[in-house]
Amino acid sequence: MPKPLKILVVDDEETLCELLRFNLETEGYEVDVAYSAEEALMLDISAYSLILLDIMMGDISGVQLASIVRNNVKTAQIPIIFCTARDSEADMIGGLDLGADDYITKPYSVRNVIARVRSVLRRCDRQHVADKSECVAFRTLSVFPSRKMCTVDGKEVKMPRKEFEILCLLLSNPGTVFSREELIRRIWPEEVVVLDRVVDVNITRLRSKLGEYGKNIVTRSGYGYVFTE
């Protein structure tokens, strides 16, 4: 039998951690808990398939921990679901902008959390890129879908999952204009409420990382985005 997927729950509410651990283990997952970001950083985060992360914690916040995870090449692609009492639109956009794969506000039902976990893990198993070849390239910009890696002039460009998947989609379909709605449908699951602004933020961040190739991701006013050669 295949090994169960490992999930890390990071929250300073011990009772909540244990509740999530019990229910997720009942669903067949292997679960570890950490009661602070500092405790989580003592673990081998690269071993986990998903992280459930509270935002408001001690000296190192959940936002800071997410940034650390996203900036490490070994953990950058691990999906993160924020679970937090901060429910404003600005907080949600900020969390998604960091590369979070979902954002659940407290109080929440355990059934809702489990459904979101399943959804995110399913999406991570699906291939979002139309071209499944080993390399999709334009001049010295190369994307390796199976290796989840992007290079410019032979140097790796680090980026979170959402930016990488957007780049794969656009680069695999040069000249095709994708509306914000189409990008949301392809890159984010239908169950997640994603604002158009989140797409714009990811595009802006992606452009800034691609150097001279940033200008090849063009905005078609009123229509969407396209990679032009």
DSSP, collapsed to helix, strand or coil, labels residue 147 as coil
Candidates 164, 172, 187; CA nearest to 70 is 164
Q: How far apart are CA 138 and CA 229, in angstroms?
A: 8
Cut 0.75: pTM above it: no
pLDDT tens track, the chain, 229 positions: 567 899 999 999 999 999 999 999 999 999 999 999 999 999 999 999 999 998 888 788 888 898 888 888 788 888 999 887 765 566 667 667 766 788 888 778 889 999 999 988 887 765 434 434 468 889 999 998 877 889 998 888 999 989 999 999 999 999 999 999 999 988 887 656 677 888 999 999 999 999 999 999 999 999 999 999 8
Q: Judge whether 37 and 12 are in contact, CB under 8 Å.
A: no
Candidates 10, 85, 12; CA nearest to 48 is 10
Q: How far apart are CA 201 and CA 90, in angstroms?
A: 13
* pLDDT value, residue 176: 95
Which residue is listed with tokens 């001690």?
58
Which residues does 212 contact at the CB level (< 8 Å), separation at least 6?
none
* pLDDT value, residue 1: 58
Segment (H or E) for 137: strand 136-138
